[in-house]
Amino acid sequence: MNENEKLAQEVKAWRAKGGVTAEAAAKALGIPKRTFEGIEQGRGFPYPLLLRVAIESLSLQAMLENSPRADHRRRKSGRNVDG
């Protein structure tokens, strides 16, 4: 397995754990959605170490709270969407 494939697996696992869309993950990382999708498909990223650091630095909880899916989960569970 090459570096791009390893990175793709890590990114997929990170996003799956957070339950966020590719669009939300790309936005949180500050990269275009198309670039993020390429990373997940193993096409690579010019700075894999930088991407790993960015992913580790981000709070998945913050991403989840800002995710459209989070609002859906809160409504479904009966929790107040506004906090």
Q: Domain map of the chain by residue range?
A: 3-77
Crossing angle of the two packed helices 33-40 and 3-18, in degrees rounded to 10: 110
CA–CA distance, 49 with 60 (Å, rounded to integer): 19
> Where does 1-83 have alpha helices with state H?
3-18, 22-29, 33-40, 48-57, 60-66, 68-77
- The owner of tokens 């990373």 is 39
Whether the model clears a pTM of 0.75, i.e. scores above it, the answer is no
pLDDT > 90: percent of the chain: 11
- What pLDDT, on the 0 to 100 scale, is given for residue 34? 93
Residue-wise pLDDT for 5-27, tens only, equals 888 888 888 888 888 899 988 88
Give me the pLDDT at residue 19, please.
86
User: What class does CATH assign to 3-77?
Assistant: mainly alpha
pLDDT of 14? 84
Q: Inform me whether the pLDDT recorded for 83 exceeds 60.
A: no
